Amino acid sequence: MTIERIEPGACMSQAVAYGNLVFLAGQVAEENAGKSVTEQTREILAGIDRLLAKAGTDKSKLLSATIYLTDLSAFGELNAVWEGWVVPGSTPARATIEARLVAPQYTVEIQVVAAR
């Protein structure tokens, strides 16, 4: 099987596809950095949609998601956006973790694995 690297960079690829699996790097909001959890989450999920499409799949085939929040008190705000985005009946296994992220302007980071 071939390993396909999508948007590779010096340190990491934004996505890697191998066989019928697609692994996305943790995604953060660039345009909405420093803004609300809602705005950052919307941008991140749009970016995930874009990367999954480049890999030949979509959010209906999500297998797992790991979500990092800098403050778990924003859990409800995050979920309000997430629940409007995921495909009902196709929700992935998921973990949400409170963590310090790479830079203070980021309050949300999301990493997913999907089938294709």
Q: What is the number of domains present in the chain? A: 1
Average pLDDT value for residue range 90-110: 97
pLDDT at residue 39, rounded to an integer: 98
* Strand ordering across the sheet containing 3-8: 3-8, 13-18, 21-24, 108-115, 62-69, 93-98
Contact 58, 86 (CB under 8 A): no
Average pLDDT value for residue range 27-56: 98
Q: Is the pLDDT of residue 23 over 90?
A: yes
Residue 9 to residue 25: CA distance in whole angstroms? 11
Residue 69 to residue 101: CA distance in whole angstroms? 8
pLDDT at residue 8, rounded to an integer: 97
Confidence band, pLDDT 50/70/90 cuts, at residue 1: confident
Q: 18: domain range?
A: 3-115
CATH of the domain at 47: 3.30.1330.40
**pTM metric for this prediction:** 0.96
